[in-house]
Copies of this chain bind each other. A is one copy, B any other.
């Protein structure tokens, strides 16, 4: 027995985007918006209390508090039948990758694509398919290549990167970690080698890019 309506829940920390999506999707006969919220936790609560037929969750992936990534993982674990569409401002390489690898999302669309693509995505995904914005696919292949060559930093190394980012000198890092300045220098050298950088600026950019900091 096939369901007629596609039931949707929306999470986005920008109320106006929710209002917008609601307004434009409600005109479609096959789509029904059951729930919308600015709080990912509120969605989880809703699903737990009242999981009456939500098919697809549309979620922003850059939200404060609990980010879209965590939300996607939670939904995946607790409500595996629900499909997820990530909605994003841009194709953030790292997040895209995490979402697809760890959360098994079904779709990823950028906010700069129009309502037509959104509806197409919803219908494809509801039918069991997947949908990714073209830009996302491009970003993804770019990122995958980088990742293969990526060497992981050790805990100690990450610790030191964080102190470098806090503008600590080698001397201060040594004092903070109760180790010799020579050791700090060694770690620093290894970090540069692994990250393929050769100065602090390159390193800090790498750290921000790979989310080593924050």
Determine whether the beta carbon of B114 is less than 8 Å from that of A15.
yes
Query: Do B201 and A17 have beta carbons less than 8 Å apart?
Result: no
Partner of A167 from the list B14, B87, B201 (CB cut-off 8 Å) is B201
Q: Determine if B21 and A16 form an interchain contact, defined as CB atoms under 8 angstroms apart.
A: yes
Cβ–Cβ < 8 Å partners of A52 in chain B? none
Give every chain B residue within 8 A of A13 (Cβ-Cβ): 112
CB neighbours (8 Å) of A15 from chain B are: 111-115
Chain B residue contacts of A38, Cβ below 8 A: 112
* A19–B112 touching, CB < 8 Å: no
How many copies altogether? 2
CA distance A23 to B113 in the complex (A): 15
A89 close to chain B: CB less than 8 A = yes
Q: Is the CB of B167 within 8 A of A202?
A: yes
Contacts of A19 in B (CB 8 A): 20, 24, 114-115
Q: How far is the CA of A21 from the CA of B199 in the complex (A)?
A: 46
Residue in contact with A20 in the complex, picked from B20, B199, B200, CB distance below 8 Å:
B20
Contact string against B for A residues 13-34, beta-carbon threshold 8 Å, 1 for contact and 0 otherwise: 1111101111110010000000
B residues within 8 A CB of A112?
13-16, 38
Inter-chain CA distance A200–B27, complex, in Å, is: 54
Set of chain B residues within 8 Å of A110, measured between Cβ atoms: 14
Write the nearest CB–CB distance from A20 to chain B, whole angstroms: 2
Task: State whether the Cβ of A130 lies closer than 8 Å to any Cβ in chain B.
Answer: no
Give chain B nearest CB distance to A116 CB in angstroms. 9
Question: Residue among A16, A201, A204 with the most chain B CB within 10 A?
Answer: A16
Q: Which residues 33-70 of A sit at the B interface, judged by CB distance below 8 A?
A: 38
Q: Which residues in A have some Cβ–Cβ distance to B below 8 Å?
A: 13-17, 19-24, 27, 38, 87, 89, 110-115, 118, 164-165, 167, 199-202, 204-205
